[in-house]
Structure 1
Amino acid sequence: MALSTSPSSRHTSRRASFAVVLAIELWERFGYYGMQAVLLLFMVQHLGVEDTQANLLMGAFAAMTYALPALGGWLGDRVLGSRRAMLLGAMTLTGGYALLALATTRHELLTFAMAIIATANGLFKPNAANLVRRIYHGDDAELDAAFTLYYMAVNVGSTVSTLLTPWLQDRFGPAAAFGACAAGVFLGLCFYALRRAHLASVGSVPDFRPVPMARYGAVLLGIAAAIGGLSLLLQHGPLARDAVWAAAALVLLCWTMMYLRAAPTDRPGLRLAYLLSLQGMSYFVFYQQMATSLTLFALRAVRGAFTLGGVTLFSMSAGQFQALNPIWIMLASPVLALLYHRLAQSGRDLSIAQKFTVGFGLVTVAFIIWWLAALAGGAGRVTPWVMVLAYGTLSLGELLVGGLGLAVIARYVPAPVSAFMMGSYFLAVGVAMYVGSMMANLAAAGGNAAASGAMAGAGLYAGLFLRLAEAAGGITVLFALLLPLARKWDRQHLVAHPLPGA
């Protein structure tokens, strides 16, 4: 009996439990990012959807995908249990990707399949992360290391799939690409089935109680209603747009009410959280370009062959360029972590507000690179090395901005409302991604490829990239000017809520 409760035994048990969640997360991300790499190209190249309509459909889909985890997290915490909700989400995702493969011949199923995937992601995403938190509850050092590996699994899965699925689409058709996404999640479910005993003692409170069949029925009915409603929104662009703006108004209303009800000692932290959340949210306007304008830019204006000294090293298709983002994330993460450590040791650690400002400066540089390349390319195509350089700069900006959004909430928002704030933050991110799709349409104002003059080459995108660079530059300057105010609110927050041991 002593062996079962020893530190080494607990450590081994935690690692085994974590490995199960890590594996299913890796395969789930394989499916999601593989789908994202080819979905826009499928709509534009195979269905003949106009650029403007395809961009906005991707934006509405992204908004829904980011909004629903708040509801999925509530179902995991209060109704089904995190373990059950994660499993239900993974099974539903498998069906969604399979239906997407079927939609390649039955096009009327496209928005229905997308609605299933968005709903299933809302079930899976928050509950898989919650299981990791529960596995390492009470051990902050191990939890930090676990989430580092967890984040790496996300990037490994996305890198492999964004290289594989465009190749499958080019060689065997879109059905094979979407089928691979379904197969990936199914493999994760198979691994879970074989190793589920390691998660038997992990979960939220409802996981350890029987769920009445009536409650299961109500949950399934609610999921079906959500899928039907989302499918309707995706089919009707104006409805989706109105829903996104209503969500934005709801976020602002919730944040206002939260601030008015907060204790005076909590308000400086909330002000800083709102300020930084708006900046973090704004990053996703630029992030959304990867799945929209940058993919179309790669399709129509970037040479696929990477050459050095006249020798072709390798080639990438339009969808595969999205893999540059997770590749750069994996390469830059340990370097950035080392830099943070050394700055902290020397007493020069950057505040989150400073990191955000530097991050947006890098986003600005990335789109300046794309703008200059588009200008130079004119009516022709540009070298793919431009994509490597600009994606690297944009991804480093992501690590400084996008990766710290939840850290802001954890640090500055009162604990009783932090979960609600995280849900509203994800909803705000979804709104930002829809705005990003609207921005992408600046390079697709005339509709489809032929009508919009897309054959004009790289120059078509110069105006869009310039506007994005100007917007990112303006945000950088604005938040640099607000740094003194951010420092003031941070000091006021620390006075009211001193750190342990301070």
Structure 2
Amino acid sequence: MSDAIPVEIGRDFIPATNPVVRLRQHPSGFWFVLWGELAERASFYGMRTLLVLYMVDVLAFSQAGGTTVMKAFSAACFLTPFLGGWIADRRLGAYRTILYFCLPYVLGHIVLGASQSTPGLFAALVLLAIGSGALKPNASVLLARIYDAEGKTALLSEAFSLFYAMGNLGGAAAAIALPLVVKVRGGQYGMALAMPALLMALAFGIFAAGKRRYPDDAVPPPRPSEPRRRAVERRTLLHIAGVFGCIAIFWLVYGQNADTWVYFAHSHTDLHVLGGIAVTANQTQALNPLLIVLLTPVFNWIWNVVKRRRGGREVPETQKMLFGYVVVVIASAIMAYAGWLARSGTPVTVWWILVATALMALAELCIVPVGLIFAYRHAAAGTKSVIVAAFHMMAFLGSMIGLSFAPFYENGLDPAAYFALLAAVMVAMTFVFVPISGHGIDSRRPK
């Protein structure tokens, strides 16, 4: 018998091939987590969109000071999920951790909008970081446990992709709408900052309303550790660490679309899309969340077709990630080529960036929601929320690695060389990932 840690894979339930019928087969608890996630992400990203200018316009921060506070807050939001994961794994379970920590989350939004003072700002950000940190890993774990309990893990990949898309949709909608509220209100932030509080209260209500549809996730007493199982857990943890390390490199390259790609669009491209229609440099980023939402059902259909052709066997998560990494290499190579064209001094078409952004969205769908499933399925019992929190932290680690690359952009390396360097890093990482994808724990049969 294999001594691999059991991986939860439903064998009896067979999803319908019709996508509409299959959607109705999802457990009822899924819909509460899905809509709760949409409301929570809308509250968080709506608030974050307003935060920098709120500090400058209302609290009289300098731009440098506002940027420093924003980066510290972002870092805290990546670190606090470990606290939320530990509390869920050791004390409360995923559902009660979500429910209890919604309260400081709502309070943080209220304090931020009502205080209009620097002490109030810092108190609000502490509450918001604690609240969002507790929810970030545990919503994913709660979602997965619903499918485990009902024996419908064959639908889990589709569920996580929809979960991820709805989070993107909520965040993007709030990031567009709330600045417009500030503009309509003549630069007043009161109403715009009240909306994230209402959205988070709504998320609390949705999560709580689904209680009867969630499985019991009381924390079991720790079982005695056997030497053989400890050895298996160590090997599994090392494999997870290898997968996560590669995901951090993905975030390093992916993160370029928020800064260096925007700078390149601003300085080296003709921003006309069709005829006389032009976009701004930072609007090129808006394509990503839109494509995530639009392509999610397409990807679900593709993976289901592939699964049927494999005789009902799921494509291993690491194989999906490998495909995503190859797509990232192609996107990076396109940007390097665009940079090479720009060496002539003539602005290149913005379509190079738009195509690369579309490819990054494709890659993201193969890596991020899939990585969440990988983290949950292969974490040992009693560590699932912490391992999912570690997965989320890879985005922070990738950003930190990116700090060592950023000073070289157009300061020693022109865009062509800079993007080519990142493409080369991604190629090297993809080669490192190949043996992981082919010979990791995905390939082991569960007990």
TM-score, length basis structure 2 = 0.71
Structure 2 residue corresponding to 1:483, chosen from 414, 434, 439:
434
Counterpart residue type for residue 172 of structure 2: T
Q: Which residue of 1 aligns with 2:192?
A: 180
CA contact (8 A) 2:257 2:357 kept: no
Q: Which moved more, 1:197-206 or 1:387-396?
A: 197-206
CA contact (8 A) 1:333 1:399 kept: yes
CA pair 391-115 structure 1, distance change in 2 beyond 3 A: farther
Counterpart residue type for residue 364 of structure 1: V
CA pair 57-169 structure 1, distance change in 2 beyond 3 A: same
CA pair 272-77 structure 1, distance change in 2 beyond 3 A: closer
Partner SS for 2:150 = coil
Question: Offset of 1:157 from its aligned partner?
Answer: 0.7
Q: Which residue of 1 aligns with 2:288?
A: 325
Structure 1 residue corresponding to 2:166, chosen from 150, 153, 162:
153
Please give the alpha-carbon distance, in whole angstroms, between the structure 2 residues aligned to 1:308 and 1:37: 29
Question: Offset of 1:139 from its aligned partner?
Answer: 2.7
CA pair 110-463 structure 1, distance change in 2 beyond 3 A: farther
How do 1:250-289 and structure 2 match up within 5 A? 263-265=230-232, 269-289=236-256
How do 1:152-301 and structure 2 match up within 5 A? 152-168=165-181, 176=189, 180=192, 182-190=194-202, 193=205, 196-200=208-212, 202=214, 263-265=230-232, 269-294=236-261, 301=267
Structure 2 residue corresponding to 1:407, chosen from 373, 378, 390:
373
CA pair 152-471 structure 1, distance change in 2 beyond 3 A: closer
Q: Which moved more, 1:182-191 or 1:277-286?
A: 182-191
Matched, 1:471 2:422: yes
CA pair 338-25 structure 1, distance change in 2 beyond 3 A: closer
How do 1:314-463 and structure 2 match up within 5 A? 318=282, 321-347=284-310, 352-371=317-336, 373=338, 376=342, 385-415=351-381, 417-437=383-403, 439-440=405-406, 442-443=408-409, 463=414
CA contact (8 A) 1:72 1:123 kept: yes
Report Cα offsets for 1:133-174 as digits up to 9, x if no partner: 454423324555544432332122123123223444566577
Unaligned runs of at least 5 residues, structure 2 = 1-23, 220-224
CA contact (8 A) 1:38 1:166 kept: yes
Question: Offset of 1:201 from its aligned partner?
Answer: 6.3
Please give the alpha-carbon distance, in whole angstroms, between the structure 2 residues aligned to 1:279 and 1:122: 23
Question: Offset of 1:184 from its aligned partner?
Answer: 3.8
Please give the alpha-carbon distance, in whole angstroms, between the structure 2 residues aligned to 1:116 and 1:380: 49
CA pair 360-296 structure 1, distance change in 2 beyond 3 A: same
Q: Which residue of 1 aligns with 2:140?
A: 129
Q: Which residue of 1 aligns with 2:41?
A: 29
Please give the alpha-carbon distance, in whole angstroms, between the structure 2 residues aligned to 1:378 and 1:112: 51
Please give the alpha-carbon distance, in whole angstroms, between the structure 2 residues aligned to 1:398 and 1:72: 25
Please give the alpha-carbon distance, in whole angstroms, between the structure 1 residues aligned to 2:52 and 2:263: 8
CA pair 19-325 structure 1, distance change in 2 beyond 3 A: same
CA pair 359-155 structure 1, distance change in 2 beyond 3 A: same
Please give the alpha-carbon distance, in whole angstroms, between the structure 1 residues aligned to 2:349 and 2:180: 20
Please give the alpha-carbon distance, in whole angstroms, between the structure 2 residues aligned to 1:290 and 1:439: 14
Following TM superposition, the consecutive aligned residue runs of length 4 or more in structure 1 with deviations greater than 6 angstroms are 41-46, 53-56, 302-305, 377-382, 459-462
Question: Offset of 1:30 from its aligned partner?
Answer: 1.0
Counterpart residue type for residue 290 of structure 2: I
Q: Which residue of 2 aligns with 1:213?
A: none
Partner SS for 1:66 = helix
Please give the alpha-carbon distance, in whole angstroms, between the structure 2 residues aligned to 1:345 and 1:336: 14
Please give the alpha-carbon distance, in whole angstroms, between the structure 2 residues aligned to 1:193 and 1:419: 22
Counterpart residue type for residue 355 of structure 2: L
Please give the alpha-carbon distance, in whole angstroms, between the structure 2 residues aligned to 1:367 and 1:13: 37
Q: Which residue of 2 aligns with 1:245?
A: none
Question: Offset of 1:345 from its aligned partner?
Answer: 4.3
Task: Write 1 or 2 for the structure with the bigger share of helix.
Answer: 1
Question: Offset of 1:331 from its aligned partner?
Answer: 2.5
Root-mean-square deviation (CA, aligned residues, Å) is 4.6
CA pair 366-268 structure 1, distance change in 2 beyond 3 A: same
Q: Which residue of 2 aligns with 1:116?
A: 127
CA pair 330-290 structure 1, distance change in 2 beyond 3 A: same
Please give the alpha-carbon distance, in whole angstroms, between the structure 1 residues aligned to 2:83 and 2:300: 33
Report Cα offsets for 1:413-445 as digits up to 9, x if no partner: 5446555433434344433333335544555xx
Please give the alpha-carbon distance, in whole angstroms, between the structure 2 residues aligned to 1:173 and 1:293: 32
- Identity of aligned pairs, percent? 25
CA contact (8 A) 2:160 2:369 kept: no
CA contact (8 A) 1:34 1:162 kept: yes
Structure 2 residue corresponding to 1:309, chosen from 270, 275, 293:
275
Question: Offset of 1:29 from its aligned partner?
Answer: 0.8
CA contact (8 A) 1:272 1:486 kept: no
Partner SS for 1:401 = helix
Partner SS for 1:499 = coil
Equivalent residue pairs, number:
411
Report Cα offsets for 1:252-294 as digits up to 9, x if no partner: xxxxxx9x99655556544432222210122222344455555
CA pair 278-387 structure 1, distance change in 2 beyond 3 A: same
